[in-house]
Amino acid sequence: MSADFPIDDTVGAWVPHGRFVMEPTSSGPLSSLTFAVKDVFDVAGHATGAGNPTWLATHASPGRSSPLVDQLLAAGARLMGKTLTDELAYSLHGDNLHYGTPVNTRAPECVTGGSSSGSAAAVAAGLVDFALGTDTGGSTRVPASYCGLWGLRTSHGLLSTVGLVPLHPGFDTSTWLAHDGSTFERVAGQLLPDTAHTFRRVLRFEDAWALADPVFQTPLQRVLDALAEELAVRPQQRHASPDVPLEKWRTVYATVGAHEGWQVHGAWITRHQPTFSPAIHARWKAASEVSDDAASAAREVMASARRSVRDLLGEDGVAVLPSAASLAPRRDASPAAVDAVRLRTMAITCIAGLAGLPQVSLPFTSPEGEPLGVSLLGPAGSDLALIRLAVRLHACSA
């Protein structure tokens, strides 16, 4: 712990250059709360490292902060520095070749999940009240599930991504994690626009449920039952992807996202030859090989998937689905086992990503006390109403 940084980082959540404090610029609804930010968000006067030392060395410290950081400071929250991320946010696992693997205090032998790994670790350990993260392919929903936290993916484009290191711009969203529903909702009230959405239909996405391990089935059913009772309706059984397996949608997401990522970062990677972990290096190599024709064909399927999911939900539907396919993998799991879980999880998380829709992850535990997440998926722009519904439901189904 540095002399001027008041947090004893017992879980390895902070990056070395991220140990600083910024006082709120005003008092407000978030006064008394502390937060940290994933090291892909700009904070004026402090370097943004994006999880890679070469990125840190080749980019000047920003002169302006992300608008979200400014909003939170203006609402009275105190910023407690910057937390670790998987390199360029291109992973769901939560380890980093250069800065280490944060500790998941809710499951110490397991990873936190990523790429918002440090944010999840800091919140789970109670070192801050909430933390900004990002979600492209699941980078907040998965850590929320693995660490027993509240998390989400926001409607695409709803929150600013200015002052944010991109990964796949067509999928990147700004998000946050919190250790309790009240704090999660308080932050939502400051960052999200109000919404007039009223939910009247409940959907059970059979194909997404089938991809999750058996330990998810009881909490999924509890949430489904509580939601049906709350709305006084009978759940509808549907497939998120009625015509093809969700694995096909995952490959579509991976193709489009990789193509976008290489357009954004390919020149920098080629010029500076940064050192990446083997898994992330392999993803960037694959991204460099995605042709324009392959990306174009995948975008056609993506457009169809987007229409399909949005039509299923309409303006008043809520779907229940797992936040991840498994409990958090062990820290010593083999690369093959990690990748198998990642692919299965991304077949679930790609639903919201392809459709550009909000998804809120509610924290639950297995009978053995292991953390896991159950999600609500709602119509575009329904984020605040969806969060309020989730907080009410959790009190009934936890």
What are the strands, taking DSSP E only, across 350-389?
A: 359-365, 371-377
- Residue 115 known to be catalytic: yes
Residue in 167, 83, 171, 88 with CA at minimum distance from that of residue 132: 83
Please give the torsion angle defined by the CA atoms of residues 342, 344, 345 and 350, in that order, rounded to the nearest 10 degrees: 110
| Ramachandran bin of 198, using left for φ above 0, alpha for ψ from -120 to 50, beta for the remaining angles | beta
Reading the block at residue 185, the tokens are: 């909702």
Reading the block at residue 153, the tokens are: 């993916």
- For 43, the 3-state DSSP assignment is strand
What residues contact residue 28 under an 8 Å CB cut-off, 6+ apart? 74, 75, 76, 190
Task: Kindly give the residue spans of alpha helices, DSSP state H, lying in 75-127.
Answer: 117-124
- Residue 38 known to be catalytic: yes
Q: Out of 65, 66, 91, 115, which one is annotated catalytic? A: 115
Q: How many Å apart are CA 317 and CA 183, to the nearest integer?
A: 25
- Residue 61 known to be catalytic: no
Counting DSSP H helices and E strands in the chain, the numbers are: 12, 10
Let me know: does 137 contact 170? Beta carbons within 8 Å: no
Sheet holding 151-153, edge to edge: 151-153, 359-365, 371-377, 317-322, 201-205, 236-238
Q: How many Å apart are CA 150 and CA 179, to the nearest integer?
A: 6
Q: Out of 139, 323, 375, 382, which one is annotated catalytic? A: 139
What's the Cα-to-Cα distance from 342 to each of 65, 120, 145, 247, rounded to whole Å? 32, 18, 13, 12
Active site residues: 38, 115, 139
